[in-house]
Amino acid sequence: MLERISWWQARQLFQDAKVALIPVGSTEQHGPHLSLGTDFLTAQALAQAVAQDLNIICTPVIPVGVSEHHRQFWGTLWVSPETFRRYMKEIAQSLASHGVRRIVFVNGHGGNNASLQEICRELRAENIFAIVWAWWLDPEVQKLTDELFRSRGTHAGAIETSIVLALDPSLVDYSQIDAAAHGASEIYATTREGAQLPLDTIDFSRSGATLDPREASQEAGQKIFQRACERLKALVQWLEQVPEGELIVKPHLP
């Protein structure tokens, strides 16, 4: 964790490591029962666990992201997609200036995904190979949550509530969990004739949650966290070993 070491210690770490992790999330509503920091705390915990296991670089967590769609719920913070893209791209470029050009954005917030994917393509043109990894979208994590829950709502639902219980049970307010469930939506976002509408969360969820967080458990959260760590570790190990020629932008066809 870069914030815990000196530049002298960082010097050796950058010389030894081939991959860096950038945990990023949001400070936004997660129903009346979860903390505003749920997304960045989860991303931070996953990134730090894997970085420590593999002795690679992990930057400080980025706690605010693209979250304006939660603006009606008190305490939500956000930056524009333009600001977010520029800031995240420049962090990656600063890592590359120290010689580490293989990067994983360990993302905890769905609203960040599109912006991060855009800058990954831009960074590749600079011979910086960056990947966006979101734990709840990993196929093996999804397979596990399908087995664990009847209601599989991610945003402030059973899945996310479980992983917070595993990380820090004090961040789950059980006095509000019934209110979260009763005001939750059946799906995240709203579609019409196959198109996702540009609505805010409050337009489809009164509590800010999805499905039923009452199904959550600490045991389920521990299983999810462990599976997600395994998957992130496997991704990093692949990125460490893949030949440079497979990562750089290919030349024009003859």
User: Which domains does the chain show, CATH number per domain?
Assistant: 2-246 (3.40.50.10310)
Residue-level pLDDT at 252: 94
Nearest to 157 by CA among 212, 206, 201: 212
pLDDT at residue number 195: 87
Give me the mean pLDDT over the 74-83 stretch: 98
Coil/strand/helix, residue 113: helix
Report d(CA 37, CA 179) in Å as an integer.
20
Local structure of 106: helix, strand or coil: strand
Quote the CA–CA distance of 28 and 11 in Å, as a whole number.
35
- Quote the pLDDT of residue 154: 82
Query: What integer pLDDT is reported at residue 197 of this predicted model?
Result: 85
**What pTM was computed for the model?**
0.96
